[in-house]
Amino acid sequence: MSNILRHTALAGIVCLFGLPIGRAYARDDYARHPFLDYTDKEVDGSFVLDGSFVHDAGELQLNITNWGLIGSRPQQDTPYSAAPSAMWPAGSGNDFLFAAGLWVGAIKNGEPLVSTGQVENEILPSNDPRDTIYRTGEGDPRGGRYPFGVDDDDGDGLLNEDILDGIDNDEDGLIDEDFAAIGTQNFRFKMADNTALSQELWPSHQPLDIEITQQSFQWATPLMEDVVAFDYTIRNIGGNDLEQLVVGFYADADIGPRSDGASGQDDLVGFTRASFRGSDRLPMTVNIAYMYDCPGGDGDVAGYIGFIFLNSSDPPTFPSVPSFQHFAAHAPFEFGGEPTNDAQRYELLTRGEIRDFPTRCQEANDYRVLMAFRPSGGFFLPPGGSVRFQLAIVMGEDLDELRENASEATLAYYGKWFDRDGLPSTGRFGRETKLCKGDFGDDRGGPNPIFGFQMDCGDPVLKECGGQLTRPRLVTAADLDEDGCTFINMDCNYEFDRGRGECSCYGAQYDPYTPDLDLPCTGLDGKEHNVRWVTTAPPPSPRMRIWSTNNRVHLFWDSEVEGYIDELNERPAFESYQIWRADDWTRPEGTSIETGPSSSLWQLVNEFDVVDSYERIRGPIQETLPLGFNTGLAGIGYTPRALREDGPEWERLEPLRRLVERIVQENPTLDSRDQIRYLAPGGSVSPLGRVYPGLADWECCASEIDTLAWDAMGINFYEYIDRSVLNGLYYFYAVTTGTVGYSLVDGETIPTGFGLSSNPRTNFEFGIPQSDAQSTADRDSRGQNIYVVPNPATRSSLSRFSQLEPNEDDPTGIRIEFRNLPRALNRIKIYTLAGDLITELRHDGRGGAGSQSWNLVTRNGQEIVSGIYLYSVESDNPAFSRVIGRFVVVR
């Protein structure tokens, strides 16, 4: 993994730092926001078919759909096939996946059945428009997680009870206001295998009658940049028992450059069950099915794609893998080929073998892999029952790095333990899970099932460490408190695996607080509350916008991320802002302006950090060293026009300033993500509008309201100007963050230098510096002065003028540019020498932009040939007379 953080382009800001398009997420202790109206949801319909949900917060870019497919089936003639399909590194044009999907198998009424997400899309959303993909991420005020967010908004003891699904699950009148948002990017949706459309598409398919909820997560952090994780819940929505349940993950890799249509013919597969030490220096066990491109052929791509099951229970246990299979394309099932019916699929899911895999390039083929396991507690699934499990797609430069990244994914899933209730009596002796008699109902016949649970894990290690061998002890009535509850150790498999070869705290009589002995154990020091999916990361990249002008690019952002707290270390993390620029982007096939350039193109332009220092002791010498460059942030400070006391806006906005300051003061739960508006998105009066009717006078000025509100909340603004750019060329810009590095010194955690850095790929904007629009004064003093660049437009000059690889939206990848156009609404008409109209371009120069590009394609969709062409520029402002010119194209 690189040491650079990824974070999506969370935000842009229009006008005077107003209207956030996205949200930067500082780690405040979020309170519930009573003025947010979540009932107005934009729902585009259930099926997502346009490739618009792509995990791109890290180096692994992956298309997600809500109809079974993971990936984008590159080179297919579909609206989603242009999306990244496990593109790695991000922006490289190298895909590691053709298609993948979940398989679920079980015995229903004595018959083995399997429902698949691939190759057949038997798992589909319903026709309910709410059954679409929902997008969120850490910092969403609705999706708080302990300890940095509110996960029980109504105080009823139920955590994250209003899941993200467009439904008011807790019946409090609000929709999706209390769920757990995980990762920088979090997609969630549900599907089923018994929809009417599935039955129509696959009439021979016998559904299991299951509903599948899929969540996928990606983080903008160096430790997890090569991972996309998945969380699945399978629920039996039919009337029959499902027996011998098994789940599998099917993948067809086809590794190679997007431009290589035969990239899948030279792949190899493998499987490893490895034990090694993770980043917390504890042993890890991970089962990994992987695929890679055989070296030595055309279109070689370095790297491995791996598939891992993380766990199948809560608390976690390591899942057993009963089957790892691979099959070559076009081979019959009897000779190792792909299964074609449910009986064959179920046989492979339950075969109970790790199939030998090829290791030589002579055996390379268009392989597909299937990795399967049995969910813990889900072997038998009655009607209404459910089972939950996690898996991840992981990338690595080689097999060792693949294992390392798989280890980090597993560690992130295990998360962190907290003493949430503040009671030292809970979370003791490794007992981390609260269990009550009432959990099993009060009307059951016979003894309560609580007495069948183990109080502690047996410990075969203690004898070797000088202790006594302990055996599992069941819960007794004496263990229960007055409410019929106790704490038990529920993650024995986890502790045994992580603690092998060490003296560990499995037995109750062993001192759980002894340093060096409690590392593999959970539920210690009163910590009874586990938060999953926790990893260390730099602060999120700030909200940013850019403004491209004449031979200059202005970058603007705000200070909200400076309050970020690293959730893993629970310490302030912000240290610096870093300014990045990417040049010479050629748009490799499969990439776009939205997915951005690869990490290799980004160059650090400048860095600005807070003034601070740390102490370093070397023997008798104590040094005070700067944590960074100590430039300070004052040099990039920026005052928006709405806040300039000497500016033209100050007096006009004075009444609004007083109103906004009052609103912020009287509503302390508001923060910069809350838009202060008179009208809600649906057009009705907002809750704030009802309390503050004076907002109705300022419906014109959303950006000014946001700027004034942020200022009232103590947020600062910054600007950086890049003057080393040329008009007409493509540039990408990013503002990212760096962190303080902490170390444990003599039992104390102290800052000891610079920590992690963000990756610019995750927070970028695209811009083209362009000539200023021509004013009437310019026309009077300098004449018409409208010209074409490059002219003549030759192959050589066009290639130097930001030529890109063609795609469906831009079939030529080349362009010329008309410059110094009038500050008006303009029409540019292009003719042949014979006077035939080729095309007409519209240009709006009223905002000051004086350039307009053309891709040399006629209005009929044809590329023009070599020759001399005429153009005319006509403006809606009569002060600008018609301009006629010519340019030359040599193809």
> Looking at residue 349, which CATH number applies to its domain?
2.70.98
Number of separate helices (H) and strands (E) present in the chain: 10, 49
Residues 239-248 have a mean pLDDT of 94
Q: In a 3-state reduction of DSSP, which class is residue 411? A: helix
Mean pLDDT on 344-362? 90
Strand partners, 757: 4, 738
- Band the pLDDT of 624: cuts 50, 70, 90: confident
Cβ atoms < 10 Å from Cβ of 197: 15
Q: How many domains does the chain have?
A: 4
Rounded Cα gap, residues 346 and 475, in angstroms: 38
Which among 687, 692, 697, 614 is positioned nearest to 653, based on CA atoms? 697
Give me the mean pLDDT over the 630-638 stretch: 92
Task: Judge if 828 and 743 occupy the same domain.
Answer: no
Task: Catalogue the E-assigned strands of 727-806.
Answer: 731-745, 748-758, 764-767, 787-789, 793-794
Contacts with 139 (C-beta within 8 Å, 6 or more apart), sequence order: 23, 24, 25, 26, 27, 181, 540, 673
* Mean pLDDT estimate for the chain: 83
The pLDDT score that the predictor gives to residue 709 is 95
Residue 402 lies in a domain: yes
Structural contact between residues 257 and 263, judged by C-beta atoms closer than 8 angstroms: yes
In this predicted structure, the answer to whether residue 518 has a pLDDT above a threshold of 50 is no
Q: Is residue 652 part of a domain?
A: yes
The answer on pLDDT for 447 being more than 60 is yes
Strand arrangement of the beta sheet that strand 793-794 belongs to: 793-794, 883-890, 867-875, 825-832, 837-844
Show the tokens assigned to 459: 């410990």
For 109, left (φ over 0), alpha (ψ -120 to 50), or beta?
Answer: left
| Boundary (domain end) residue, out of 499, 531, 563 | 531
User: What is the C-alpha to C-alpha distance for residues 39 and 54, in angstroms, rounded to an integer?
Assistant: 25
Give the full edge-to-edge strand order of the sheet including 85-87: 54-55, 61-63, 85-87, 94-95, 256-257
* Residue 550 sits in the same domain as residue 436: no
Inter-residue contact 542 to 26 (CB < 8 Å):
no
Which has more confidence, 274 or 738?
738
Q: What is the pLDDT of residue 710?
A: 94
Say if residues 58 and 220 touch (Cβ distance below 8 Å). yes
Question: 């002008």: which residue's tokens?
Answer: 549
Average pLDDT over every residue of 342-367: 90
**pLDDT for residue 262:** 61
Q: Please give the pLDDT value at position 39.
A: 34
Give me the mean pLDDT over the 202-228 stretch. 93
Asked if 525 and 656 sit in the same domain, the reply is no
Examine the domain organization and report whether 527 and 561 are in the same domain. no
Write down which residue in 372, 397, 415 finishes a domain: 415
- Inter-residue contact 246 to 374 (CB < 8 Å): yes
* Bridge partner residues of 788 (DSSP): 818
Structure tokens at 335: 């000779």
Q: What's the CA gap between 755 and 221, in Å, rounded?
A: 12
Judge whether 588 lies within some domain.
yes
Task: Give the helix/strand (H/E) hosting 185.
Answer: strand 185-192
Measure the CA–CA gap between 828 and 884, rounded to whole angstroms.
10
590 and 616 housed in the same domain: yes
For residue 875, what is the domain's CATH number? Answer: 2.60.40.4070
Final residue belonging to a domain, choices 361, 383, 415: 415
pLDDT at 284: 61
Higher per-residue confidence, 701 vs 507: 701
Report the alpha-carbon distance of residue 260 to residue 2 in Å, rounded: 27
Cβ distance 51 to 83 under 8 Å?
yes
Residue range of the domain that includes 637: 544-767
What angle do the packed helices 654-666 and 702-712 form, to 10 degrees?
50
Is the bond into 316 cis (omega within 30 degrees of 0)?
A: no
**Residue 140: inside a domain:** no
Is pLDDT larger for residue 247 or for residue 669?
247
Q: How far apart are CA 245 and CA 248, in angstroms?
A: 10
What whole-number distance in Å separates Cα of residue 316 and Cα of residue 415? Answer: 11
pLDDT tens for 355-406 read: 889 888 888 889 999 999 887 656 788 999 888 899 999 999 999 999 889 9
621 pLDDT more than 50: yes
Percent of the chain whose predicted confidence (pLDDT) is above 70: 84
Write 518-523 long-range contacts (CB < 8 A, 24+).
519/280, 519/282, 520/282, 520/494, 520/495, 521/430, 521/495, 522/315, 522/417, 522/430, 522/432, 522/491, 522/494, 522/495, 523/417, 523/427, 523/428, 523/429, 523/430, 523/431, 523/432, 523/433, 523/487, 523/489
What share of the chain has pLDDT > 90, as a percent?
A: 46
Residue 826 falls inside a structural domain: yes
Rounded (5°) CA angle 513-519-521: 80
Tell me, yes or no, whether 882 lies in a domain: yes
Same-domain check for residues 400 and 433: no
Question: For residue 861, is it within any domain?
Answer: yes
CB 27 within 8 A of CB 668: no
Going by C-beta distance under 8 Å and a sequence separation of 6 or more, which residues neighbour residue 654?
none
Burial readout 546-560 (b: 16 or more C-beta within 10 A, e: otherwise): bebbbeebbbbbbbb
Query: Which of helix, strand or coil describes residue 639?
Result: coil
Which tens digits make up the pLDDT trace of 23-61? 222 223 223 333 333 333 334 458 888 898 999 988 999
Distance CA 868, CA 7 (A): 47
Same domain, 550 and 477: no
Whether residue 6 has pLDDT greater than 60: no
* In a shared domain, residues 717 and 602: yes
Examine the domain organization and report whether 309 and 425 are in the same domain.
no
Residues 6 or more apart from 150 whose CB is under 8 A from it?
Answer: 29, 30, 31, 32, 144
Q: Are residues 487 and 560 in the same domain?
A: no
pTM: 0.81
Residues near 10 by beta carbon (within 8 Å), at least 6 away in sequence: 22, 23, 24, 25, 540, 541, 543, 763
Give the DSSP letter string of 457-476: --BSSGGGGTS--B--EE--
Task: Name the band, by pLDDT with cuts 50, 70 and 90, for residue 195.
Answer: very high
Residues 378 and 405 in one domain: yes
Specify whether 483 is located in the same domain as 515: yes
8 Å CB contact between 66 and 52? no
User: How far apart (Å, rounded) are the C-alpha atoms in residues 193 and 104?
Assistant: 10
Q: Is the peptide bond before 119 cis (omega within 30 degrees of 0)?
A: yes
Q: Is 8 within a domain?
A: no
Q: Residue 257 carries which side chain, given as an amino acid letter? A: P
Question: E strands along 596-747, which residues?
Answer: 602-609, 613-618, 621-626, 717-722, 731-745
Which of residues 801 and 581 earns the better pLDDT score? 581
Whether residue 448 has pLDDT greater than 70: yes
So what's the pLDDT on residue 567? 67
Report d(CA 592, CA 259) in Å as an integer. Answer: 14
756 and 221 in contact (C-beta within 8 Å)?
A: yes
- Compute the distance between CA of residue 94 and CA of residue 303 in angstroms, rounded to an integer: 10
Evaluated on CA atoms 636, 639, 641, 642, the torsion sign reads: positive
Radius of gyration of the chain (CA): 30
Residues in the chain, overall count: 891
Q: What angle do CA 342, 346, 350 make, to 5 degrees?
A: 175
- 452-473 burial, b at 16+ Cβ within 10 Å, e below that, comes to ebebbbebebbeeeebeebeee
| Cross-strand pairs, 721 | 554
- Which burial class, exposed, middle or buried, applies to 761 when counting CB atoms under 10 A from its CB (0-12, 13-18, 19+)? buried
